[in-house]
Chains A and B, each alone.
Chain A
Amino acid sequence: MAIAEQEQAPLELESGEDQVTERPLGAFTRPSGGGGWRSWLFTVDHKKIGIMYGAAGLLFFVIGGIYALFMRLQLSRPGNSILSAETYNQVFTMHGVVMIFLAAIPLGAAFSNYLIPLQIGARDVAFPRLNAFSFWVFLGGGLFLLTSMFIGGWWENAPDGGWFAYSPNTGVLFSPSKGIDFFAIGLQITGIASLVGAINLIVTVLNMRSPGMTLMKMPVLTWMLFIVQLLLLFAMPVISVALFLLTFDRLFDANFFNVSQGADPLLWQHLFWIFGHPEVYILILPSFGVISEIIPTFSRKPIFGYPFMVFSGIAIGFMGWGVWAHHMFASGIGPVAVAAFSVSTMFIAVPTGVKILNWLATMWGGRIRFTTPMLYATSVVAMFTIGGLSGVTHSLAAADTQQTDTYYIVAHFHYVIFGGIILGFFGGFYFWWPKMFGYFLSEKIGKMSFWVMVIGFNLTFGPMHILGLQGMSRRIQTYSSGQGFDFWNIIATIGAFLIAVATAMFIANIIISRRAHRAGKTPDPGPDPWDARSLEWMTASPVPEHNFDEQIVVERQDEFWHRKWGKDETGRVVRRATSEEVAHDGSNTNVHLPSPSYWPLIAALGLPIIGYGLIYNLWLCVVGGLFVLGGLYGWVFEPVDDPNADGHHHDEGHETPDAPQAEEANEDSSEEVSVD
């Protein structure tokens, strides 16, 4: 997609001969944007897609949180019977699956989609329609998974094998409900979404940077998100293979995990964790990136050791592929493998430690403003350090064998995932909210909810370290009293409800702040409310549809900051220009925009239908297949840009869905239409 601003001549289309009415497949006209729900449903704008990712991710976060509350209620006292053992298995599985695949990954995708093009000064992502496709596929796959709760009975058919679904426990023999089918197919669908999104964003970062934006001038957030996309690119096919094998086993009687035929139960574990450990970094690196933007801004210093931040991220990305078997120390993989993976696990703590030290050094001596985003960012540094340290204890295989499948593990990964990721994302929400929506979230409510959340979080997961070391197993539905578990369990339950209160306060904050702004009680944030450093602040808030009024030529890292601030003769840092003077005001309406399209949504709709078809009735697969095929072919015969759209001209950007059918997408692109 072009930054078409350079071409000032408004419209080549005027020549008349191009005014062909484009009717893809003859019957439908193209959506023309417009307002209301249509502008969201058929959009290809990376910002709207990013916001939809965020909204969907938050919704799933709330749903996953409700599961967690029921689990904590069940465990609040010994011998409880709020949930039956069968239901409890399904609830904890759904909690894990929803939180990881439907909340944490899409929230990361929300930041990637919204911010990568802005931070590299691009007009949009490389393949805008593909971007819409990946969002709708993700949403379809997520809802597909959730329907397992009530299809065929209330909590009868939800997955119940834990989020890592070890075989042969997930075979038809041990898991006769349809839950694992929903799990395997649902994750397959969301996996397609991640893969497509990754290809799109990798090409965007590599190929769409504005002039002068070399790789080593990109903001740390863009770097971390770029690494995440590379990890997704290579990790997703591995989980795809594992899920295919599982699906074939369950639906077509294949033997991959059929132990009576001599199958190896470790095959699943290896495939899953080769995906699963990079997945951990897929989850955490976006948050690392987010706080690497927040901390320099509110410390009023550039990030300390920028190259170290970048290369430690790359190192994490590489080493993340060499530690997967530390999830399997208790499965008998042999002393050599255990020793090797112990060492590699200790090593991966080094680049993470580099990052923590650099954040601290960035804050050191800075003029720190403790706004809500900064509070969240600093809490990530602290909480992630705790989670990281308990992670290193797992690299000691002898100790790990004692901790495996206890609450100590649960405590560890919640400190990493909640303390590291979710807190960072909340910080990111408060930080970029004015940029995305044009109003501030209330600092007062924000700070209150921050403290409730951090205290609740530590009350929930802190005691789990103790519970785990005392020997309480994870995934048990209940426990008997007199084992010393009672006190810490009720504390954890109280903490979980505090987290729920904090989340509710965040949602209330959105509503209250929005109302207050509409009533004119809060000031307009302007383009650059925090005196920030990267390019996304160099345009109006909320970001206009075309991002930047003109192409930005980048000369330095933190370009925007250097345009605002400079040094006088005595070497003191002085303001050279106000943000408003430097930033674009979004008034240029003569910028090419990619046209909205129906087809990504239609093609994406087919996938969950195929999923239901595989489980219940193969005829449905035909229906779903028709949706996919029709969607893709409609896509193929539709030019990237609507020749009839007003005020825009063609550019050279073309979309290539990555799916093998991909290339057809180009066959009837804009050039040819004109050649005809």
Chain B
Amino acid sequence: MRMAGVVLIILSASSVGFRIARGLGKRCKLLRQLLAALTLLKQEIGMCATPLPQAFALMAVAADGPLETLFSVAAREMDRNRWASPLVAIKKGLTQTPELPEGDPATQTLLELAARLGKYDLESQLQGIDLASMRLSEELSRVERERSTRSKTYQTLGICAGLALAILLM
């Protein structure tokens, strides 16, 4: 019985460490998907002059998970309501995407881009997307560095904390 308790403590503490490490991996994946979505947006605007509601819908189809929700909500909002600017539509999408919380650097970049979208000529739109992509790439590099250096640390810390707790309780 005592052994089972010890094993449970070690497993649960380790799982916390592993979850934090997996969170960094998920964050990298989300940023990569966001970069791919912006590349698609640039192509749709630059090559096909696709209006934003349709472009958001295409981005939703190309993405999965949180970004699919974000862009499909934004596309629906712009399609349903002519008053909805890209900023309003993206803000609405973000309310249903907890993976991109307020204050997050990626969220800020996305909001800045949305505020700029649809207002100016084609060249300015493309420059805005390039700027957002550059910022997201920087964020991705930072998260990848953090992941490579800290991922193992979090996992080890989790196991060690579990062991320490188990020894203390024994």
**A and B associate:** no
Residues of A within 8 A of B (CB): none
